[in-house]
Amino acid sequence: MFEKTTICVAKGDGIGPEIMNAVLQIFDRAQVPLHYQFVDMGKSVYDKGFNSGMTDEAKTHIEKFGLLFKGPMETPKGGGVKSINVTARKTWNTHSNIRTFETIPGVETIFSKAGLDINITVVRENIEDTYGGIEHFVSNDVAVSKRIISKPGSQQVIRTAFETAKKQGIKKIHCGHKANIMKQTDGLFLKTFYEIAKDYPEIEAKDIIVDALCMQLVRFPQDFDMIVLTNLQGDIVSDLCAGLVGGLGFAPSANVGDQIMIFEAVHGTAPDIAGKNLANPTSLLLSGVAMLRQIGLQAHASLIYKALRHTIDSGAHTGDFGTENSPNLSTSAYTQAIVNSIDIMKNQFDLNQQATYTHKIPSQNKMLITNSEGLTEEGIDVFIQSDELPEGIAKKIHGLISTKITLLCITNRGTLVWPQGSVFTDLVNSYCLRFSKNQKDVDLLSEILELQSAFEISSTEKLYKNGDQRAYSLAQGQ
């Protein structure tokens, strides 16, 4: 008898315990060789005073075993606490979120009615972007968010996408982006995509602007095999793709890192039906199937997936999907129907398998080195609060700064308002002043100190050149 692989299981909030129990019942019937280490995470843990949403013991177990299987979890509203889902992904650097959306016979959509089979894998960067949660109020009415895209972070998710495509026989990958507007951040992600694509000549690499991508997904979803995106855009597009195949109830989610992996249901906790034996466990089951495949239990994954499809195709369904031609089943009855299908199909599979997954605990944090060679300082952006008009601000500045720096322009919400501008541009009392250096050895921060006597400075951002290329964006109209 093979040794069982230990995974950590967090049942979650709301309907989480019901659907997790259903999935584990299915796993047991399929003879999946796993041992379950149950851990405490979610709203009940927040309520006990753990701001991370998990107990110290849970964190220790997850880092020891490297695999977390979790139900949906609720983050308390307000109070400044972070989402347990995002915290877990970022803490353990599960840099790539992989979600495959397939047409399932018996789950009726407008595309299934048209005879179109959908099979799209979305690979989403999971750590960076606006999900860094770096936000500040610079006045009572103006909030700023900082978006971080790094080349090493982009390499991790894009490499994962190509490797996954290679393993699954996917021949085409689209990079979704907004590099036409966010030329530095999305531009870096897109450039990295094409650099890595050169290592996989057998896979066709294409790119598409994300808004056009959303339109094309709704019109021609069959044209897409795999899409790789930055974090926020990937979040939105993956939910759109879930809608194409029947909703979040049929959307698996795998968060893959170099050391730790998290598999979870991505739908909500549905507190209105919690405890009523009405919940649909399909999404969590599909995430469990993805986990089994990832750790090498291919036969068990195939058995469960085939049994699920057979069950749904035969007309079994919970109340959130299916047709009126067959009755809505409770969670337990639906689970039993899948178990019955497993019993019928079990002899078709060699279940004498052991997981190939191995987990190593690193001795220290991994440092992803970024390249700063060739960068030269050429200016600085200074963000101020003022309810004066641009002409008055410029006049004040010229009386405060030395000849070592020059005020190039003033912008408001990213739009040029001085030296050129339009009276039709509405302003908020939060400006960006852009200065350039007139001498190489100028200390920019020292040169702008005098501005504090006239303006409230919110923040500063140095401007660099990379060789002959600007490493910062121009304002609208600059």
Which domains does the chain possess? 1-93+258-371 (3.40.718.10), 96-256 (3.40.718.10), 375-470 (3.30.70.1570)
pTM above 0.95, yes or no: no
pLDDT digit of tens for each residue in the chain (478 aa)? 568 999 999 999 999 999 999 999 999 999 999 999 999 999 889 888 888 889 999 999 999 999 999 999 987 765 556 788 888 998 899 999 999 999 998 898 999 988 899 999 999 999 999 988 889 888 888 899 999 999 999 999 999 999 999 999 999 999 999 999 999 999 999 999 999 999 999 999 999 999 999 999 999 999 999 999 999 999 999 999 999 999 999 999 999 999 999 999 989 999 999 999 999 999 999 999 999 999 999 999 999 999 999 999 999 999 999 877 789 999 999 999 999 999 999 999 999 989 999 998 998 998 988 887 888 999 999 999 999 999 999 999 999 999 999 999 999 999 999 999 999 999 999 999 999 999 989 999 999 999 999 999 999 999 999 888 899 998 877 7
Distance CA 433, CA 436 (A): 10
**Around 419, how many Cα atoms within 13 Å sit in the side-chain half-sphere?**
5
Residue closest to 2 by CA, chosen among 294, 295, 258, 257: 295
Q: Tokens at residue 278, please?
A: 């009405």
Residue 464 burial (10 A CB sphere; 0-12, 13-18, 19+):
middle
Contacting residues for 291 by C-beta, under 8 A, at least 6 apart: 7, 67, 69, 254, 261, 263
Q: Tokens at residue 2, please?
A: 């093979």
Could you check whether the bond before residue 33 is cis, i.e. omega within 30 degrees of 0? Answer: no
Residue with tokens 């895209």: 149
Q: Identify whether the C-beta of residue 101 lies closer than 8 Å to the C-beta of residue 119.
A: yes
Distance CA 388, CA 343 (A): 75
Q: What is the DSSP string of 303-342?
A: HHHHHHHHHHHTT---TTSS-TTSPPPPHHHHHHHHHHHH
Q: Identify whether the C-beta of residue 47 lies closer than 8 Å to the C-beta of residue 240.
A: no
> What is the helix (H) or strand (E) element at residue 124, kind and residue range?
strand 119-125
CA dihedral sign, ordered 316, 322, 327, 332 = positive
Pinpoint the alpha helices (H) of 182-223. Answer: 185-197, 210-219
Output the 3-class SS for 88-104: HHHHCCCCEEEEEEECC
> Which strands make up the sheet holding 430-437, listed edge to edge?
415-418, 405-412, 430-437, 375-385, 456-466, 469-470
Structure confidence at residue 322 (pLDDT): 82
Q: Tokens at residue 404, please?
A: 């070592």
Distance CA 262, CA 287 (A): 9
